[in-house]
Structure 1
Amino acid sequence: MLGTRFSSKLFLFLSKPFKRQGHPSSFTRKQNNMRSFSLVQKTGEVSNKTVVFHLEGALLRSTSLFPYFMLVAFEAGGLLRCLLLFLSYPLVWLVGEDQLGLRVMVFLCFFGIKKSTFRIGSSVLPKFFLEDVGWEGFAAVMSCGRKVAVSNLPRIMVEGFLKDYLGVDAVVARDVKSLSGYFSGLMDQNKENEILLGEFKRGDAVIGIVSHNKHVGQNFFPHCKEVYSVSEAEKSNWQVLPREKYPKPLIFHDGRLAFKPTPASCLAMVMWIPFGIFVCVIRITLGILLPFNTSAPILAFSGTRITLSIPQNSLNQNQEKPKSHMLYVCNHRTLVDPLHIAHALNKPVCAVTYSLSRFNELITPIRTARLTRDREKDRETMEKLLRVSNLVVCPEGTTCREPYLLRFSPLFAELTDDIVPVALDVKASMFYGTTASGHKCLDPVFHYMNPNPSYFIKILEHLPKSETCAGGKTRIEVANNVQNKIANALGFLCTSLTRKDKYMILAGNEGICH
């Protein structure tokens, strides 16, 4: 009786997206008209249970593993490996992605990749996994207590996402073998049965959630008290997990691809890249050779979009002090932020940066200066630049792709009381123009290779003297105030995270360039 009562309650909790699978024969209960979930009412009934779920079958909305391997091939192996995997897709599709096709993709993506530097699983893939998670499956899994994930993907691809973002207690997946510090492209023997049996020996009441057509479910569902299967038709109706429901905010992620590389989108990318390189050369060349008022319209004609918002009184905000120069304080989205601000203002500016490659220093059409992270030296450098020109500074010290602002360094607040906050946002349709672990000299190249690189620039009101150090505020208060103004203008959230935090998460170093 108790078992029957628990089965009925759990089925009501999982309701529409899941169908109960009995043992040894399966059956489907009659669907009811209840809403899919009532988390508040049902959490207490399963919060002390253990759930063993299949990642691809019970959590992700997509049915194909190819996009995740394509991300590994492109980010870890480069364009040629990406092209090789793309050309092999017909074979993978023909033999199926579960067995032979999976081994083909693993070999093509991992063979010869250095193991010690592989961070794709923690820096790139979590973003795409989160965007693929179904709200219905997520609610069912997260309502349980102990969570054990089973995946067909190699452990190094999924473990970071499952443990860091979902709080999974154990991950059952195969490892990719390595030889002399490099991946061999071969996976070890399947030990799922042994690992799962160890979980079942814990004595907990175990719930299983699997996809009805995935063989992995056969390894553990006979040992579960209750098993629920998800059909592809049901998954097609799942909703995308809202960003505000992420267990952990997605603030940092790396990689160049800004889209999920399905076979169709990969074909579009391969066809675009030759033309994109040509367009990129034209855009960068025009920005160097032509004056701002001439290059801006031509760049717009090539597909570059700049949306500008300026306060009505900003054009006359410096009339009282015609010989002074303005300090433009902006959040940091890409390496070319100062260049776009110069285009928007239609007047020359100079910029300071922590890490700019020699190549980018040569091609930039505005004056730049390197910062050293020595407070006194950096202050002296910025004061000199501000005496001869308008100055653009990015107090975050590094770029952030998501709708968050990192902590603002307060050094700029000591330079002048002529401060103008600038809110920036950028949209990338194909490539990200930033990187934490890649070649920074290619950042402008990837940005301008987008079909329609778009910038949103909002010049905010000149900071009142009462809100500056000259008005009695401390430099930290000024920095926090400017950060809040920019965040409010963009609808972003402020954080206390720093450049060092970003690079430790994404690249495993402090982001110091020599």
Structure 2
Amino acid sequence: MASKAFSKSLLSSYRSLRRRLVNPLSIYLSRDQQKPRKNTLSSLNLCDNTLILDVEGGLLRSSSLFPYFMVVALEAGCILRGLVLLLLYPLLCCLTREAGIRVMVFLCFSGIKEKEFRVGKAVLPKHLLEDVGLEAFEVLRRARKKVCVSSLPRVMVEEFLKEYLEVQEVAGRELKVIRGYYTGFMEKERSEKVLFGEEEVEEEQEVDDGVVGIASCTKSPQHQLFSLCKVVYRVTEAEKRSWHALPRERYPQPLIFHDGRMAFRPTPSAAAAMFLWLPFAILLTIFRSIVFVLLRYDISIPIGAATGMTNRLPSPLDPTQTNSTPGRRGRLFVCNHRTLLDPVYVSAALNKAVVAVTYSVSPLTEALAPIKTARLTRNKDEDQRRMERLLSEGDLVVCPEGTTCREPYLLRFSPLFAEIADEIFPVALSTRVSMFYGTTASGFKWLDHFYFLMNPWPEYECTFLEKIPTSSPCGGGGRYEVANLVQRRIGDALGFQCTMLTRKDKYMMLAGNVGIVNTKN
């Protein structure tokens, strides 16, 4: 047994030595000695190969890591962390890449609670997907097994790589944790045997060209996983500049839900512009809020437009029914949910006061609302009685999705509204923002409309569609058929894709709860 163990150890040592000798020396050659071939990535055939890919050097179009740390500083920390990180940017440019990463990790992660860190799952995937190169993605997609290596902390990239790019293994930097809090210091990288397993390492080494690596040409791949590669292709910065962005329709998994306030990529220049804009934005959002709360719509809308707001509010399809006649029930307007201001814009388009039903909004939001709001209880029978009573008093606006969705998707429509009215007036709403999102799943919800109004040029478009009768609209009727029909009509008008996802699905992914949010937030 001892001799067998010794033979196995000797064989393993020989394999390791042989691997290091036959591995292409291009890994260690200088840039002058190594001339990357054209169309290297497009010519790779990886159907039966394992691919080890450097995320920053061979997948993302930009080599700068600053935007991702700025996202962590602002979304997981506070605005002060982001400001300090921006002020330290000139110093970071003078440091080595490794030293700069360590400084940014310490600044962004120190004191952050490990269990509450959801930025890597809820916020960063959007920013990372927008930076993926189409050419690198095509190579990654063809590989039999995908292993990604990153200089970033693993908690920043693992969810993005596994959930959206279907990567099997991720080798990133581990963060030290004391009593449930990140210290801001990093541990050593995980070894190849931790990622693959000792037996699988030997099997991969025995396969001819079984492991292919893709790394940056500007630096030697330092991670020990690249020592497994039979071939390592180097990507130059000039080649990356010619890459195309990965189109949304090519995402392996659709990006439907994401959180965070920033609607832009926080590069140093963009982040500086944001911080310079903030003092004016705070004053502007206060002014816009006062205008909407205190003035009539025919006055507030032009004033809002003068401050940079773009509002497209066409007249309803049937102007003769704008004002409800005495003794007649109000109209039920059903719209998709983009922000908390949806019912306000419907009311502005109608140029009359309406009632909006809500679930869990903050008392401050209700107090500042320029229209009447009614809180629902999530009890079907009680909510139906309340909505019928409100509809008998005037026009009613409901958002059956139950929560907002930023991307061009519609969540499942609750069928409750189909039981309280004979006719339904669908309303298609779309918004555009350039700096801040006016929605959140895990932040302070009472700030939602303030963030929307802080954008330099926020846009809102409201489109009234043909009314839909609730009696047998689909050759058989039923409240679910009515809800699905209204969802499809709105989706077709906006060019959005209909889904069966719900409020619970969104909050479980982004906030780790079922959507019953504290109304104080």
TM-score normalised by L of structure 2 = 0.89
Q: Which amino acid aligns with 1:84?
A: V
The sequence identity of aligned pairs, in percent, is 52
Matches within 5 A, 1:406-425: 406-425=411-430
User: For residues 197 and 483 of structure 1, what CA distance do their matches in structure 2 show?
Assistant: 46
Shift in Å, 1:342: 0.9
- Whether 1:314 aligns to 2:313 is no
Q: Which amino acid aligns with 1:46?
A: L
- Whether 1:179 aligns to 2:178 is yes
Q: Which residue matches 2:18?
A: none
Q: Which residue matches 1:473?
A: 477
User: For residues 104 and 174 of structure 1, what CA distance do their matches in structure 2 show?
Assistant: 14
The answer (yes or no) to whether the contact 1:280–1:449 under 8 Å persists in 2 is yes
Q: Using a 3 Å threshold, how does the CA distance of structure 1 residues 24 and 115 change in structure 2: closer, same or farther? A: closer
Q: Which residue matches 2:14?
A: none
SS where residue 168 of structure 1 aligns?
A: coil
Q: Which amino acid aligns with 1:201?
A: E
Q: Which residue matches 2:499?
A: 495
Q: Which residue matches 1:69?
A: 69
- How many residue pairs match? The answer is 485
Q: Which residue matches 1:144?
A: 143
Q: Which residue matches 1:5?
A: none
- Select between 218-227 and 354-363 the one with higher mean Cα deviation: 218-227
User: For residues 393 and 423 of structure 2, what CA distance do their matches in structure 1 show?
Assistant: 14
Matches within 5 A, 1:21-170: 22=26, 25=29, 27-28=34-35, 31=38, 37=42, 45-96=45-96, 98-170=97-169
Decide which of 448, 453, 460 is 1:448's aligned counterpart: 453
Q: Which residue matches 2:302?
A: 297
User: For residues 410 and 284 of structure 1, what CA distance do their matches in structure 2 show?
Assistant: 33
Decide which of 405, 410, 434 is 1:405's aligned counterpart: 410
Shift in Å, 1:419: 1.1
Q: Using a 3 Å threshold, how does the CA distance of structure 1 residues 29 and 158 change in structure 2: closer, same or farther? A: closer
Decide which of 461, 467, 471 is 1:462's aligned counterpart: 467
Shift in Å, 1:485: 0.1
Shift in Å, 1:398: 0.2
SS where residue 392 of structure 1 aligns?
A: strand
SS where residue 444 of structure 1 aligns?
A: helix
User: For residues 217 and 38 of structure 2, what CA distance do their matches in structure 1 show?
Assistant: 17
User: For residues 161 and 320 of structure 1, what CA distance do their matches in structure 2 show?
Assistant: 51
Decide which of 333, 357, 365 is 1:328's aligned counterpart: 333
1:99-130 deviation line (CA, Å, top 9, x unaligned): 11100000000011111110000000000110
Q: Using a 3 Å threshold, how does the CA distance of structure 1 residues 27 and 277 change in structure 2: closer, same or farther? A: same
For structure 2, list consecutive stretches of 5 or more residues without a partner in the other structure.
1-23
- Select between 189-198 and 379-388 the one with higher mean Cα deviation: 189-198
Q: Which residue matches 2:4?
A: none
Shift in Å, 1:268: 0.4
Q: Using a 3 Å threshold, how does the CA distance of structure 1 residues 465 and 441 change in structure 2: closer, same or farther? A: closer
- Whether 1:506 aligns to 2:513 is no
Shift in Å, 1:28: 3.1
User: For residues 277 and 62 of structure 2, what CA distance do their matches in structure 1 show?
Assistant: 25
Matches within 5 A, 1:144-293: 144-192=143-191, 195=194, 198=197, 200-203=201-204, 204=207, 205-217=210-222, 219-293=224-298
Q: Using a 3 Å threshold, how does the CA distance of structure 1 residues 498 and 21 change in structure 2: closer, same or farther? A: farther
Q: Using a 3 Å threshold, how does the CA distance of structure 1 residues 257 and 319 change in structure 2: closer, same or farther? A: closer
Q: CA RMSD in A?
A: 2.2
The answer (yes or no) to whether the contact 1:76–1:118 under 8 Å persists in 2 is yes
SS where residue 473 of structure 1 aligns?
A: coil
SS where residue 46 of structure 1 aligns?
A: coil
For structure 1, list consecutive stretches of 5 or more residues without a partner in the other structure.
1-19
TM-score normalised by L of structure 1 = 0.90
Q: Using a 3 Å threshold, how does the CA distance of structure 1 residues 302 and 145 change in structure 2: closer, same or farther? A: same
Q: Which residue matches 1:6?
A: none
- Whether 1:486 aligns to 2:495 is no
The answer (yes or no) to whether the contact 2:174–2:189 under 8 Å persists in 1 is no
Shift in Å, 1:59: 0.5
Q: Which amino acid aligns with 2:69?
A: F
Shift in Å, 1:161: 0.4
1:131-160 deviation line (CA, Å, top 9, x unaligned): 000000110111101100100000010011
The answer (yes or no) to whether the contact 1:21–1:228 under 8 Å persists in 2 is no
The answer (yes or no) to whether the contact 1:325–1:418 under 8 Å persists in 2 is no
User: For residues 442 and 507 of structure 2, what CA distance do their matches in structure 1 show?
Assistant: 8
The answer (yes or no) to whether the contact 1:172–1:195 under 8 Å persists in 2 is no
Shift in Å, 1:194: 5.7
Shift in Å, 1:502: 0.3
- Whether 1:373 aligns to 2:374 is no
SS where residue 247 of structure 1 aligns?
A: coil
User: For residues 487 and 223 of structure 2, what CA distance do their matches in structure 1 show?
Assistant: 53
Q: Which amino acid aligns with 1:378?
A: D
Shift in Å, 1:358: 0.7
1:176-209 deviation line (CA, Å, top 9, x unaligned): 1111111111111234566468564342510100
